[in-house]
Structure 1
Amino acid sequence: MSISSSRLQPQAPVGHLLERGQVLNHFVCDHPMTLPLTFPLLTAATFTIALLAGLYKCIIYPALLSPLARIPAARWHARFSPLYSYYIKYVNIENRTVHDLHTRYGPLVRLGPNELSVNCFEGGLKTIYTGGFPKTEWYHERFTNYETDNLFTTTDPKEHYQLKRMVTNVFSKSSILSSSALRITTSAVIFDRLFPILRESSRSRKAVNIHPLDYAYSMDSFTGFQLGGKLGTNFIQKTEEREWYTHHFFDGRPYLFWDFEVPNFTTWLQRFGIRLVPEWCAESQVALEDWFMPKCDRAAELVASQDEMQLQASGDWPTVFATLKQKYEELDGKSKTPTRAGESQLYPHRLEIASNLFDHTVAAIETSGNALTYLHYELARRPDVQSALRAELLTLDPSRDRKSELPDSKALDALPLLDAVIHETLRRYTPVGGPQPRVTPRVCTIAGYEGIPPVVRVQASSWSLHRNPKVFPDPEAWRPERWIDATPDELTEMRKWFWAFGSGSRMCIGSNFAMLSMKLVVAAVYAHFQTSVVDAEGIEQNDGFSGGPIGNKLWLQFDEI
């Protein structure tokens, strides 16, 4: 049975429609104030409700009712606005400012509506960093290479655990101290490349700007171990290549804030043709990646076609590359990461390997390089410490008479004054003094404050941790003897607060290499040379995430003995 459409949709005669239109027109004309009053009232009510809701959400709740409201705030407006946190990052005064805030307000400070800074071990470092609080996307945005995550950037705990297992053994202290390849490559870097420059300073009585050479040594030493002597860098001797690298690596630093702290705002402005970050910044990153990738590809060829024993003996075996490649192949032999347009995977996991290795080099050149510069600076001002260190070094075999050999790594590592000099430099001039942000995974207690909600950014910084006067008396002074004269209990407490390499599962994977690499070059240099300061203008440490001398130089006179 069908139903007529005319019954469902009755049609009125045209005359009736006209009559209805006249009635409507008559109603509107006779009641002119009805509609104009109704709509503005509704609009005003809606606007008022929206305004009140916005005030409650953005100001009243975060400032007065949030569980974070009882935490001391950096400024009154930091309770509901992130502008103060952005400001201290943008003008590069974050480390000193946050430390002053902790000195004034205690171990927990609110920097923004959803950002806390913590400066304590119990309830702070122990809770956050050994408690497995996840990393923020900030790491992914800032440290990803080849558009591919690596050990440092991944926020997934399982993925991080898997990646860390791949390289844990090759970077373990026992492996580092017993590595013959490391000794061969580092010995060549020190005695064949660095020493001729220092001897020329002694012979000609001309000062040397040691700061760029510290960067160069750190890079050459690490890439020699990572990729082998043939494929590692030679920044000490190849000045042009070193200057090209440091130009691309450092010159974009003033623009990092826009991309990594306020990326959405930066992207939004680009829609209107306003670029806060010049295009050449991204081009510099690509240039560095393109410079590094062929080294990885040649390392893959070495691993595939040459004899490992022969390459180990010559120091040309790409130790870290080979380990990482083998571990990836053991997983599944296939890359999980899509390639860039037009790029083919020459071997499985090419981009993942390159991203991880490139990240290692970034850490090596800057952190160890800056630490060595400040170590040279302090030793050059203290002839008495130099003499004591030299006396300690000359107890090792080989002595100064055997000028082209390095002492045994294990014996070197056990020297108390050498270890104290490096630890104190890393404490006083921590290379990465900026905050290491994490996110609260659940409701938790931090620094004695209960009920901290999930998804709050929490962070500690080594700059502040290393300046706790109860743990490190007279913290601004460089006093290596504090590590030797401390009681066992004091030393335990100092090591708990020492955070140059982080802590927990995310602790710096290359810490053992960094320590030995610095000890090797310091031992070699100060067993054979005496140093003095010629020009240290601008030696003050930059107050950024990572910090070297603001003047980018340190001129020393080297005198061979």
Structure 2
Amino acid sequence: MDFDSTHLHETLPRLLKAYWPPVLVGLLLLHFLANKFRSGLVSIPGPSLAAYTNFWRFRDTWRGTAHKSYRELHDHYGPLVRIGPNIVSVSDPEAIPIIYNIKTDFHKARATSDGTASAEVQKFIYKKKRVANLFSHIDPAVHRSKKRLFGNAYSLSSILEAEPGLISVTTLFMKSLRERSSKPIDLGEWLEYYTYDSIGEIALARRLGFLRNGGDIDGMIPLGAILSNYASVVSQKPILDWFGLANPLFPYLLPSIETKNGVLNLTIKTMEELGFSGPPENLKSCTGGDFLSHMARARAADPERYSSDDILIQTSATVFAATDTTAITLRAIIYYLLRNPLVLSRFTAELDAAEPLLSPVITYRESIDTLPYLQAVVKEAMRLHPAIGLPLERYVPAGGATIAGKFLPAGTTVGMSAWVVHRNPDIFTEPDAFVPERWIGSPPDQLKRMEKSMFQFGAGARSCVGKYVAQIQTSTLIPQLFREFDVQLEDKDKEWEVTARWFVQQVGLVVNLVPRRST
């Protein structure tokens, strides 16, 4: 019998129309099965659903429980946990120098159908386009180039040049607290106001006005929360990004996402005042120690390397990122001090003993030289409550890699969470206890192992460039606060609320403040 192609052409559309539901179901089943039995990952344990689809990660991040659930998974399954079809969470501290090395052969993960886009999603909109900053650049060559451009402005010595501005913010912060010390105060909120104003001084040589206003300015806080939560949740199902910020029509459909970006607008205004909008020779002579003044001097010296747009994007990103992370760390230090009276007593004794050596507003160098126990307190708080709640994701390079005794094929996304690594009982005895003494009295070998396992700023070539910002603020604000006030929890039996998206935010640090000395 001859084959009748005309008859087939007429029949096939009718068959597809009649049977498309089972065909679609069959294709989906094949897709899920291919995910489940992916070569090299099928033997790695984890939640049953996670092997088939990234929905497990999406749901867990949406709930805000990743800081707890990832640790529970590793406690149950071991150092490697499959948390997505092509994604493995790693808890072994020995893997830190493998995954996060100086060579950066483990690159940041791009958005794929079965992967994630934690870096790519964390871009913001400028001139109707999504733009990348130092954190969100995926290409390692581009990142190296940008880091060479901006790295010096993030050095400890450079940031310390802005310390006079920080001292003025600290003075205003203490004055604001003193004026409100007659009744309970949400110190967690005020710490965020402090970080916005202090980062404004570090980045722009100007306060943003939060402390003066006693609250948010231009919706900066809610906008930052929206963008952070969006990035953390959408990165678990990257296809969703194309219905949001990645859609080229989005800036036109919702132009306020750019026009009402208070941090971006303030940075633009400051740059215009300095002459960035004109030719490099019109830049004002900047002698300040803030980030933007550093960049103005760099652009004036080499305008070909330093574009105004690059400087604008990186300066704005510095304000957004450093405010949340520093506020989270400051809250954690205070909360754990108040929850541990013996630690608080030892710290205040050290502070009182150092009083003759301290300026009216404590400087960074004074803190480092005279308050060693404080540094242990800060480090222990960062161990128990790192600011980032999700794994920092990387691609396994060509040729694959052996991690925690298991070979993982090239292209696998791997990541480590500080919330998991910092509670490894093989490294940190009593991992859930707040014990600053571990950083003072441990044997040298143990201290070295603990130091190598600290991951609050990441590691390797992509480690956080803003770590010195947090170091200076925690070293100066915390002792100044407890020098001026007896700080007491309003409700000693009530724990605060913690939600983990990209940042692990806390709510409920309500305290009573009793002045310790006259103004």
The residue matched to 1:515 in structure 2 has which SS? helix
Question: Aligned runs of 1:36-435 on 2, under 5 Å?
Answer: 54=27, 58-64=31-37, 66-75=39-48, 77-122=49-94, 124-130=95-101, 132=104, 133-137=106-110, 138=117, 139-146=119-126, 147-176=130-159, 179=160, 181-191=161-171, 193-202=172-181, 205-228=182-205, 231-242=206-217, 244-251=219-226, 255-256=230-231, 259-265=234-240, 267=242, 279=254, 282=257, 286-300=261-275, 307-308=285-286, 317=288, 319-328=290-299, 333=304, 349-396=307-354, 399=357, 404-407=360-363, 409=365, 412=368, 415-435=371-391
Counterpart residue type for residue 197 of structure 2: D
- Give the Cα–Cα distance (whole angstroms) in 2 for the partners of residues 54 and 241 of structure 1: 50
CA 1:235–1:71: 2 relative to 1, 3 Å:
same
Counterpart residue type for residue 76 of structure 2: R
The residue matched to 2:398 in structure 1 has which SS? coil
Contact 1:148 1:351 in 2 (8 A): no
- Matched with 1:21 is none
Counterpart residue type for residue 81 of structure 1: T
- Give the Cα–Cα distance (whole angstroms) in 1 for the partners of residues 228 and 461 of structure 2: 28
The alpha-carbon deviation at position 171 of structure 1 amounts to: 2.4
Deviation track 1:170-219 (CA, whole Å, cap 9, x = no partner) reads 3223444xx3x32211111112x1121233345xx322221122112222
- Matched with 2:113 is none
The residue matched to 1:542 in structure 2 has which SS? strand
The residue matched to 1:549 in structure 2 has which SS? strand
The residue matched to 1:541 in structure 2 has which SS? strand
TM-score when normalising by structure 1: 0.77
Deviation track 1:35-72 (CA, whole Å, cap 9, x = no partner) reads 589967x979x99xx99995896244443361111111
Contact 1:62 1:68 in 2 (8 A): no
The alpha-carbon deviation at position 307 of structure 1 amounts to: 5.0
Deviation track 1:58-111 (CA, whole Å, cap 9, x = no partner) reads 244443361111111321x32232221222122222221111111111111111
Contact 2:121 2:241 in 1 (8 A): no
- Give the Cα–Cα distance (whole angstroms) in 1 for the partners of residues 295 and 440 of structure 2: 38
- Matched with 1:19 is none
Deviation track 1:268-320 (CA, whole Å, cap 9, x = no partner) reads 699xxxx9xx9588368645423432123324469956554xx5xxxxx2531
The alignment yields a C-alpha RMSD, in angstroms, of: 3.8
- Give the Cα–Cα distance (whole angstroms) in 2 for the partners of residues 390 and 269 of structure 1: 49
- Matched with 1:337 is none
The alpha-carbon deviation at position 559 of structure 1 amounts to: 2.8
- Give the Cα–Cα distance (whole angstroms) in 2 for the partners of residues 359 and 95 of structure 1: 24
Out of 439, 447, 464, the residue aligned to residue 491 of structure 1 is 447
The alpha-carbon deviation at position 119 of structure 1 amounts to: 0.9
The alpha-carbon deviation at position 388 of structure 1 amounts to: 2.3
- Matched with 2:470 is 514
- Give the Cα–Cα distance (whole angstroms) in 1 for the partners of residues 284 and 316 of structure 2: 23
- Give the Cα–Cα distance (whole angstroms) in 1 for the partners of residues 83 and 345 of structure 2: 46
Counterpart residue type for residue 140 of structure 1: E
Counterpart residue type for residue 196 of structure 1: K
Contact 1:222 1:361 in 2 (8 A): yes
Counterpart residue type for residue 389 of structure 2: G
CA 1:90–1:387: 2 relative to 1, 3 Å:
closer
Contact 2:402 2:408 in 1 (8 A): yes
- Matched with 1:549 is 506
The alpha-carbon deviation at position 327 of structure 1 amounts to: 3.8
The alpha-carbon deviation at position 255 of structure 1 amounts to: 4.8
- Give the Cα–Cα distance (whole angstroms) in 2 for the partners of residues 415 and 539 of structure 1: 28
Within the alignment, does 1:505 sit opposite 2:461 as a pair? yes
CA 1:114–1:237: 2 relative to 1, 3 Å:
same
Deviation track 1:493-520 (CA, whole Å, cap 9, x = no partner) reads 1111111111101111011221111111
- Give the Cα–Cα distance (whole angstroms) in 1 for the partners of residues 84 and 224 of structure 2: 30
The residue matched to 1:206 in structure 2 has which SS? coil
Counterpart residue type for residue 377 of structure 1: Y
- Give the Cα–Cα distance (whole angstroms) in 1 for the partners of residues 397 and 45 of structure 2: 22
Counterpart residue type for residue 297 of structure 1: E
CA 1:382–1:307: 2 relative to 1, 3 Å:
same
The residue matched to 1:556 in structure 2 has which SS? strand
Moved more, 260-269 or 108-117: 260-269
The alpha-carbon deviation at position 489 of structure 1 amounts to: 1.1
CA 1:268–1:175: 2 relative to 1, 3 Å:
closer
- Give the Cα–Cα distance (whole angstroms) in 2 for the partners of residues 254 and 190 of structure 1: 29
The residue matched to 1:153 in structure 2 has which SS? coil
Counterpart residue type for residue 473 of structure 2: S
Determine which structure has more spread, i.e. the larger CA radius of gyration. 1
Moved more, 356-365 or 286-295: 286-295
The alpha-carbon deviation at position 558 of structure 1 amounts to: 3.2
Contact 1:248 1:284 in 2 (8 A): no
Out of 491, 496, 499, the residue aligned to residue 539 of structure 1 is 496
The alpha-carbon deviation at position 449 of structure 1 amounts to: 4.8
- Give the Cα–Cα distance (whole angstroms) in 2 for the partners of residues 159 and 519 of structure 1: 33
The residue matched to 1:170 in structure 2 has which SS? helix
The residue matched to 1:142 in structure 2 has which SS? coil
- Give the Cα–Cα distance (whole angstroms) in 2 for the partners of residues 265 and 363 of structure 1: 23
Contact 2:125 2:257 in 1 (8 A): no
Query: Unmatched 5+ residue regions in structure 1?
Result: 1-26, 312-316, 335-347
- Give the Cα–Cα distance (whole angstroms) in 1 for the partners of residues 464 and 427 of structure 2: 23
- Give the Cα–Cα distance (whole angstroms) in 2 for the partners of residues 497 and 256 of structure 1: 26
- Give the Cα–Cα distance (whole angstroms) in 1 for the partners of residues 83 and 236 of structure 2: 14
- Give the Cα–Cα distance (whole angstroms) in 2 for the partners of residues 263 and 370 of structure 1: 27
Deviation track 1:356-389 (CA, whole Å, cap 9, x = no partner) reads 1111111221111111112222223444433322
Contact 2:57 2:236 in 1 (8 A): no
The residue matched to 1:459 in structure 2 has which SS? strand
The residue matched to 1:78 in structure 2 has which SS? helix
- Give the Cα–Cα distance (whole angstroms) in 1 for the partners of residues 208 and 447 of structure 2: 38
The alpha-carbon deviation at position 550 of structure 1 amounts to: 3.9
Contact 1:211 1:554 in 2 (8 A): yes
Counterpart residue type for residue 328 of structure 2: N
- Give the Cα–Cα distance (whole angstroms) in 2 for the partners of residues 158 and 37 of structure 1: 52
Deviation track 1:430-462 (CA, whole Å, cap 9, x = no partner) reads 111221111222232242455422222211111
Counterpart residue type for residue 513 of structure 1: V
TM-score when normalising by structure 2: 0.83
Contact 1:413 1:419 in 2 (8 A): no
Counterpart residue type for residue 143 of structure 2: H
